[in-house]
């Protein structure tokens, strides 16, 4: 446990042992040959490092896909993964009026989840108390020793500066601006804390467990009552110098448009999120609807609701085409509850993307086309992804 903690928290990222541990932490289960290919290390170097890691039981053989494949011919390649006994991690998502926590082991198995309501504009002290209580509850319920906890990853609703972990801005928790994530939490919790932006954490969840598993380059767009996003290059989130990379919701499309909560005008979030959809649905039905109730109306074929979805998908598809023209990514993952809107949403979005982007599907062999797919997680993606922050040792 101590060895794994040292490698994740303090290891030299260029050291072969550290690179292998970080790769297994991100990918789950791999063969020695796959590790050599993915790290670019010589097979002999990988073999020596794996020998040390297996002797210390940090890495163990696993029943991964390489061993269980029915199509395997001859001797199966042995899969290796981090020893689940080597430690546990907790992921935290800070929501406007609640805090969500997930506990997982280092082999990516989710062990427990909790959510606690808190008052709006809660302080760091209230957050620490709530997180501490939920950890005690989860670990007590599982009969797990808290000494196994390698670290806590916290998904924050706003950009976090990569160089020093300082919260740059947040419309959900404005009083937290200027605070340093690790200091805030380590003052109130006796654990190592890794902090990051919530959309970046969602992208890590999709990369580790979901729709982008095995894909090293993709664009993530989270569309819900707001729009966030992330840029993933070579298996890492590109954060930008101030942590604002991938904040696609605040691309200003109309300089004279409506005022956005970010202080700019005419942002994509105002016209392409589920906010304008729910506002119009409220007028149509004469009452407040939840997003899930609205999705039920769409699924049951309500013509007005389906038209609202088509219109907002057109708007997002056009904006996404601009993003696609910049990155030409192999994959675009749509997260948030928009991912649950089904074909009426994705067909229109994909058509508008095709119309406005530079590289057209119709001119491109299928293996080189940009795929646009719904994300796997609509609710707990950020708290799951925050576990990824710990496993990647990102601070
Ligand atoms: Zn904005």
| 306-345 confidence digits (pLDDT tens) | 999 999 999 999 999 999 999 999 999 999 999 999 999 9
Per-residue pLDDT at 154: 95
Per-residue pLDDT at 211: 95
| Residue 208 counted as domain residue | no
10 Å Cβ neighbour count for 387?
33
Q: What is the mean pLDDT of residues 53-66?
A: 76
Ligand 1 centroid from CA 317, angstroms: 18
The strand pair at 29-31 and 88-94 is best described as unpaired
Structure tokens at 315: 């708007």
Of 108-112, 146-150, 299-303, which one has max mean pLDDT? 299-303
Which domain, by its residues, includes 37?
Answer: 2-85
Ligand 1 centroid from CA 270, angstroms: 8
Helix (H, G, I), strand (E, B) or coil at 29: strand
pLDDT grade for 4, boundaries at 50, 70 and 90: confident
Of 30-44, 179-193, 286-300, which one has max mean pLDDT? 286-300
Directed axis angle between helix 198-208 and helix 16-27, to 10°? 90
Domain edge (last residue) among 32, 62, 85: 85
pLDDT grade for 160, boundaries at 50, 70 and 90: very high
Ligand 1 centroid from CA 201, angstroms: 20
pTM: 0.85
User: What is the phi/psi pair of residue 319, to 5°?
Assistant: -65, -40
Per-residue pLDDT at 107: 77
Q: Is the pLDDT of residue 395 over 50?
A: no
Q: What is the mean pLDDT of residues 77-99?
A: 88
| Residue 269 counted as domain residue | yes
- Same-domain status, 150 and 269: no
Q: What is the mean pLDDT of residues 63-69?
A: 44
Per-residue pLDDT at 230: 97
Residue with tokens 């002290």: 125
| Residue 358 counted as domain residue | yes
CATH number at residue 8: 1.10.10.10
Per-residue pLDDT at 5: 66
- Same-domain status, 69 and 180: no
Structure tokens at 295: 């999705």
- Same-domain status, 228 and 333: yes
- Same-domain status, 186 and 229: no
Per-residue pLDDT at 73: 44
Q: How far apart are CA 385 and CA 31, in angstroms?
A: 24
- Same-domain status, 22 and 43: yes
- Same-domain status, 161 and 249: no
Per-residue pLDDT at 180: 94
Under DSSP, the state recorded for 75 is S
Per-residue pLDDT at 209: 84
Q: What is the mean pLDDT of residues 122-128?
A: 96
User: What is the phi/psi pair of residue 70, to 5°?
Assistant: -70, -20
Number of domains in the chain: 3
- Same-domain status, 226 and 357: yes
| Position with higher pLDDT, 290 vs 2 | 290
- Same-domain status, 6 and 101: no
Ligand 1 centroid from CA 126, angstroms: 28
The overall average pLDDT reported for the chain is 90
- Same-domain status, 56 and 166: no
Q: What are 227-268's pLDDT values in tens digits?
A: 999 999 999 999 999 999 999 999 999 999 999 999 999 999
Ligand 1 centroid from CA 263, angstroms: 6
Ligand 1 centroid from CA 119, angstroms: 25
Ligand 1 centroid from CA 259, angstroms: 8
Q: How far apart are CA 216 and CA 81, in angstroms?
A: 19
User: What's the CA dihedral at 381, 387, 390, 394 to 10 degrees?
Assistant: 0
Q: Is the pLDDT of residue 379 over 80?
A: no
Ligand 1 centroid from CA 106, angstroms: 37
- Same-domain status, 334 and 222: yes
| Residue 361 counted as domain residue | yes
Q: Is the pLDDT of residue 206 over 90?
A: yes
Q: What is the mean pLDDT of residues 29-58?
A: 90
| Residue 7 counted as domain residue | yes
Q: Which residues contact 100 (CB under 8 A, 6 or more apart)?
A: 92, 93, 113, 114, 115, 380, 382, 383
Q: How far apart are CA 142 and CA 240, in angstroms?
A: 39
- Give percent above pLDDT 70 in the chain: 93
- Same-domain status, 186 and 217: no
Ligand 1 centroid from CA 133, angstroms: 35
Q: What is the mean pLDDT of residues 363-368?
A: 96
| Residue 280 counted as domain residue | yes
Q: Per-residue DSSP letters for 249-288?
A: GG-BS-TTSPBPTTS-BSBHHHHHSHHHHHHHHHHHHTS-
pLDDT grade for 75, boundaries at 50, 70 and 90: very low
| Residue 197 counted as domain residue | yes
| Position with higher pLDDT, 376 vs 108 | 376
Ligand 1 centroid from CA 358, angstroms: 26
CATH number at residue 223: 3.30.420.40
Q: What CA–CA distances, in Å, run from 157 to 3, 69, 124? A: 32, 40, 13
Q: What are 271-313's pLDDT values in tens digits?
A: 999 999 999 999 999 999 999 999 999 999 999 999 999 999 9
Ligand 1 centroid from CA 246, angstroms: 13
| Position with higher pLDDT, 12 vs 30 | 30
10 Å Cβ neighbour count for 333?
29
Return the minimum-mean-pLDDT range out of 49-53, 62-66, 275-279, 328-332: 62-66
Return the minimum-mean-pLDDT range out of 84-93, 174-183, 266-275, 289-298: 84-93
Ligand 1 centroid from CA 388, angstroms: 28
- Same-domain status, 168 and 295: no
């Amino acid at each position: 446990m101590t060895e794994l903690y040292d490698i994740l928290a303090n290891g030299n990222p260029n050291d072969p042992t550290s690179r292998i541990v970080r790769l297994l932490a991100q990918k789950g289960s791999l063969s020695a040959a796959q590790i050599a290919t993915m790290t670019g290390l010589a097979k002999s170097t990988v073999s020596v490092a794996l020998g040390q890691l297996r002797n210390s039981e940090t890495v163990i053989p696993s029943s991964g896909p390489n061993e269980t494949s029915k199509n395997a011919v001859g001797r199966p390649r042995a899969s290796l993964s981090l020893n689940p006994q080597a430690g546990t991690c907790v992921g935290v998502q800070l929501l406007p009026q609640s805090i969500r926590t997930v506990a997982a082991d280092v082999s990516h198995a989710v062990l427990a989840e909790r959510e606690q309501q808190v008052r709006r504009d809660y302080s760091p002290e209230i957050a620490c108390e709530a997180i501490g209580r939920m950890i005690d509850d989860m670990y007590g319920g599982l009969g797990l020793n808290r000494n196994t906890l390698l670290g806590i990853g916290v998904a924050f609703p706003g950009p976090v500066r990569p160089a020093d972990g300082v919260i740059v801005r947040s419309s959900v928790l404005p009083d937290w601006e200027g605070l340093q994530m690790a200091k805030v939490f380590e003052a109130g919790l006796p654990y190592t804390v890794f902090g990051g932006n919530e959309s970046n954490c969602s992208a890590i969840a999709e990369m580790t467990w979901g729709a982008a598993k095995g894909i090293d380059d993709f664009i993530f767009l989270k569309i819900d009552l707001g729009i966030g996003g992330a840029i993933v290059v070579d298996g890492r989130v590109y954060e930008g110098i101030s942590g604002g990379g991938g904040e696609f919701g605040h691309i200003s499309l109309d300089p004279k448009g409506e005022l956005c909560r970010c202080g700019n005008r005419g942002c994509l979030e105002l016209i392409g999120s589920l906010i304008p959809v729910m506002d119009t649905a409220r007028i149509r039905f004469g009452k407040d609807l939840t997003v899930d109730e609205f999705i039920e109306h769409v699924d049951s074929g309500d013509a007005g609701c389906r038209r609202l979805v088509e219109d907002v998908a057109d708007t997002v598809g056009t904006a996404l085409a601009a993003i696609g023209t910049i990155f030409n990514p192999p994959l675009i993952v749509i997260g948030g509850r928009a991912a649950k809107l089904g074909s009426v949403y994705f067909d229109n979005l994909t058509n508008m993307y095709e119309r406005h982007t530079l590289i057209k599907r119709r001119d491109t062999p299928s293996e080189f086309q940009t795929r646009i797919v719904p994300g796997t997680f609509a609710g707990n993606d950020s708290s799951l992804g925050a576990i990824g922050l710990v496993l990647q040792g990102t601070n």
